[in-house]
Structure 1
Amino acid sequence: MSNQTVEESAPQVATEETPILKVEGLKKSFGQVRVLDGINLSVNRGEVITLIGPSGAGKTTFLRTLNWLEAPDEGTITIDGATIHANGGKISRQCLSLLRSKSAMVFQRYALFRNKTALENVTLALRVVHGQGADEARERGLALLDRVGLADKADRYPSQLSGGQEQRVGIARALAVDPSVVLFDEPTSALDPEWVGEVLSVMRDIASTGMTMIVVSHEMRFVRNVASRVLFLDGGKILEDGTPDQVFGAPAHERTRKFFSQAHLAVDEWGANL
């Protein structure tokens, strides 16, 4: 664990005036390379924030700092009243657990336990971390598998599931701990094209319930149709922050327009072609 200082604020209930997630002055370097360069962001409850940009822009690193899978060098992260400051001291396991209890991550490569069934993967944190009894955890796990369309696959092992089904189990696992924010790190990038739609459909359903979501994605149809806000990152900075119509239809930054051009679609063609 890298050396960090943690200060925990008293938990507060997020309101329309209180962002459920706030990031201030976030910086992260790997060696001499500055990957995140002073990011500031406020997210309200129920927003779906999508991060787009070229490879190496800092999107995944930013997402991973939000639950301290990557410890930032500088800055402050607040999720639903729990605040951690990164400024050179030591982070306690208790404070780290508090921050992580506010969010859940859906990974690119599923990260399921191969020796556990779908239901066991979903309920593991409920039983081990949250201390739920087996019957209570099983009931919630089955309900969540049903929600992602996998009620009939509860007793299957990951090797018996398609990639899309594995990712849906991963989504059910993230929802099981009742997070304030769900973080999606390119959840369809490892999938065959035939499985992408089923995962995006589940994500659309989750978004429609008012869940706060931060999504790194290259699926521009999803970004255009589901996101509340689109952030364009490059060089560790947020260059654009606006509605899908604003960012896709009239980007303010030349770098954004170049990114769209290199994707072989003119800016004003995105909506028509997606």
Structure 2
Amino acid sequence: SDVVVGPSGRPRVQMVGNDPERALYTKCELSDLDAPTRTERKALDALNGLADACLKRQGREGVRLNRGLYWGKEIAVTEPRQLPSDVREARPVPAVEPPREFTGEDDRAIASCVGTARSEQLSSYVASPALLFIGDEGGATVPGFDLSPANTAKIAGAAALVLALTVGASVLAGARLVRPLHALTGAAQRMRDGEEHASVPVRGDDEIGRLAAAFNDMSAHRARLEEQRKAMVSDVAHELRTPLSNIRGWLEAAQDGLADPDP
């Protein structure tokens, strides 16, 4: 077995191995290590007094808190075993079981009183909370911000500068967007009025630039179609000029009596 010191500083005996029955045949009483010490008993009695006072103020009966801060009755529990003759009989080990006659409302009231009693018991050992007040020396809270005229002027100037930059950027972006649209509108109107080669400059590869390029292609295609139409009309007129001249000469000769018209 080993002696192990717990987080609270209380030592306990830890059995080495997987046989839990080895503790029954020891010559030392291990249950004595679980009994409250003198200082623990003093603090536990004070806590019991504070919790009982809280319960009596609510018209309830007091309870007895154990070292684990739970309430109940201690019942001696032993297991009958056949022990060797040279080993003294183990004394009953007190086991704590929560009382079953307490209702849920009683348990909540007891738990609340135990928490209040613990806070009251430890209040002298805990520092009071540090409070931070934001305001003037008299404690009155000043609403808003108290700015000096210089700071007010700086804030107003910064706001005006930001506003001016925002307006300038908006105007510049709007001008870059509206100028190509105006050019496209003017070119479309000139094409409607009969201008053959109406085109607009392409200033970028964005949507408006691609629209201007498509408009220029359409205008060039329309101009080529117009030139082809004029060339076709000129060719037809040239081909029809000689037959029409012959017909006109015969008609004039027949009218002057120089030629006899066919029946």
Q: TM-score, normalising length from structure 2?
A: 0.23
- The structure having more radius of gyration, on CA atoms, is 2
Name the one with the larger helix percent. Answer: 2
Task: With a CA cutoff of 8 Å and minimum separation of 6, indicate the structure with the bigger relative contact order.
Answer: 1
Q: TM-score, normalising length from structure 1?
A: 0.22
Name the one with the larger strand percent. Answer: 1
